[in-house]
Amino acid sequence: MKQIAIFGATGSIGSSTLDIIARHPERFRASVLSANRQVDALVALCQRFEPDLAIIADPALEGELAAKLKAAGLRCEAAAGPSALDQAAAGPLCDTVVAAIVGAAGLGSTIAAARAGKRLLLANKESIVISGELLLQALNEGGGELLPVDSEHNAIFQCLPGGRPPLARSGVRRLILTASGGPFRGRKRDELTTITPDQACKHPKWSMGRKISVDSATLMNKGLEVIEAHHLFGASADQIDVVVHPESLIHSMVDYVDGSVLAQLGNPDMRTAIGYALAWPERIDTAVPTLDLPAIGKLHFEEPDLETFRCLALAFQALRAGGDATTILNAANEVAVEAFLNGQLAFNAIPDLVERVLAELPQQSVVDIPSLMDRDRAAREAALRVLASTC
């Protein structure tokens, strides 16, 4: 039986993972659960799944978590803070880690799991966007395995022979990431000047957290996925294309030199990708409905509008710049999205802020994780200065 640590258990990825675990109690057990600040939601999950350890990210809430676990009569330890996440990721309570903490906050535990040789189910794309080859190096040193949980990268993984072989030896010409286009597909930049957070978070196909929903609305999420695909599959920026596919039924494609294009299709439900990663190389029932192609009738494709949705263009720019430019991109974007959600920044100003930070902090060579974290902090400070100057 696999012992699963779910970091970000109260989010959408965590909920879908727990749904699959509940359907296959003979195969999987949730041994470690974490949440950011949602103590009551975390305790409720502990009552249902009875993990060995519950972790709250905010150290100030550890006492409350411990007290509520005890009051519920649970034999579950409580811990808090980034160090607790890192220790749990590397420790003996789990053999599999679902990395679903949003943003740069998930980097430490992701690296710790990789170094410890765990099976790493990567749903935190920011970790690989920030650390790139350093994460893959940690994975190789630890001897574990990485399985992508993002639906797009999971689809590519399924369409490649052996999952993640060198593309040059696999006859691959291009990786084609599909994008729904988000809630504002078809609109022009001047039509997005008064967009509210609630409008941006209303994704037409997927149910996601607010940060990733905004990223999907700006197409920055697709840009981060382009960077992730570069690191996961060794594809250059010129080998990665993005195609808008509003039905969200083809999750990505692989174009081969012989003219074949392999696509992975399925209903827009994250349980497909999560179940595949949990059970790989086997397949298990995830309760996702069968795709009814006659009922769908038609599939549509179009080029992304890079003038209106400039975040995708900025992501390609950062990838081509190399070094730590993608770290700078991600940090600036996190500050910009938080400011937008808090009503401090207009929707259209998100790419403007990111672009200014990229210009202020030209790329540097990647040396190690501590230096990357220094650059991440510098980018956030620069983004806050830009934000202050625009308010």
DSSP class of residue 53?
Answer: E
List the strands of the sheet with 240-244, edge to edge: 240-244, 172-179, 250-256, 261-265
Is 152 one of the annotated binding-site residues?
Answer: yes
Is 37 one of the annotated binding-site residues?
Answer: yes
Is 150 one of the annotated binding-site residues?
Answer: yes
- Say if residue 116 is in the same domain as residue 195: no
Q: Whose CA is closest to 174, among 257, 231, 250, 249?
A: 257
Is 209 one of the annotated binding-site residues?
Answer: yes
Q: Whose CA is closest to 7, among 56, 46, 41, 50?
A: 56
- Say if residue 254 is in the same domain as residue 118: no
State the CB neighbour count (10 A cutoff) for residue 321. Answer: 16
pLDDT given for residue 206 in this prediction: 64
- Say if residue 190 is in the same domain as residue 310: yes
Is 365 one of the annotated binding-site residues?
Answer: no
Is 31 one of the annotated binding-site residues?
Answer: no
Is 371 one of the annotated binding-site residues?
Answer: no
Domain containing residue 351: 322-390
pLDDT given for residue 391 in this prediction: 64
Is 12 one of the annotated binding-site residues?
Answer: yes
Cis peptide before 281 (omega within 30 of 0): yes
- CATH number of the domain that residue 105 is part of: 3.40.50.720
- Say if residue 111 is in the same domain as residue 173: no
pLDDT given for residue 106 in this prediction: 87
**Core vs surface per residue 136-156: b (16+ CB within 10 A) or e:** bebbeebebbbbbbbbbbbbb
Is 298 one of the annotated binding-site residues?
Answer: no
- Say if residue 132 is in the same domain as residue 109: yes
Asked whether 183 and 192 are in contact (CB, 8 A), the reply is: no
Residue 275 belongs to a domain: no
**Core vs surface per residue 241-252: b (16+ CB within 10 A) or e:** ebebbbbbbbbb
Is 154 one of the annotated binding-site residues?
Answer: no
Is 68 one of the annotated binding-site residues?
Answer: no
Residue 274 belongs to a domain: no
Is 203 one of the annotated binding-site residues?
Answer: yes
Look up the pTM and report it.
Answer: 0.92
> What's the number of domains the chain is made of?
3
Is 10 one of the annotated binding-site residues?
Answer: yes
pLDDT given for residue 364 in this prediction: 94
CA pair distance 126, 5, nearest whole angstrom: 19
Asked whether 213 and 147 are in contact (CB, 8 A), the reply is: no
- CB under 8 A, 24+ apart: contacts of 192-195: 192/308, 192/347, 192/348, 193/346, 193/347, 193/348, 195/346, 195/347, 195/348
Is 222 one of the annotated binding-site residues?
Answer: yes
Q: Whose CA is closest to 3, among 28, 21, 20, 23?
A: 28
Retrieve residue 350's tokens: 């998100």
Is 151 one of the annotated binding-site residues?
Answer: yes
- Say if residue 311 is in the same domain as residue 330: no
- Say if residue 139 is in the same domain as residue 40: yes
Is 303 one of the annotated binding-site residues?
Answer: no
pLDDT given for residue 353 in this prediction: 97
Is 355 one of the annotated binding-site residues?
Answer: no
- Say if residue 167 is in the same domain as residue 310: yes
| Residue-by-residue pLDDT tens, the chain, 391 positions | 999 999 999 999 999 999 999 999 999 999 999 999 999 999 999 999 999 999 999 999 999 999 999 999 999 999 999 999 999 999 999 999 999 998 788 899 999 999 999 999 999 888 898 888 899 999 999 998 999 999 999 999 999 987 677 787 789 999 999 999 989 999 999 999 999 999 999 877 666 778 889 999 999 999 999 999 999 999 999 999 999 999 999 999 999 999 999 999 999 999 999 999 999 999 999 999 999 999 999 999 999 999 999 999 999 999 999 999 999 999 999 999 999 999 999 999 999 999 999 999 999 999 898 999 999 999 999 999 999 988 6
- CATH number of the domain that residue 349 is part of: 1.10.1740.10
Residue 139 belongs to a domain: yes
Is 36 one of the annotated binding-site residues?
Answer: no
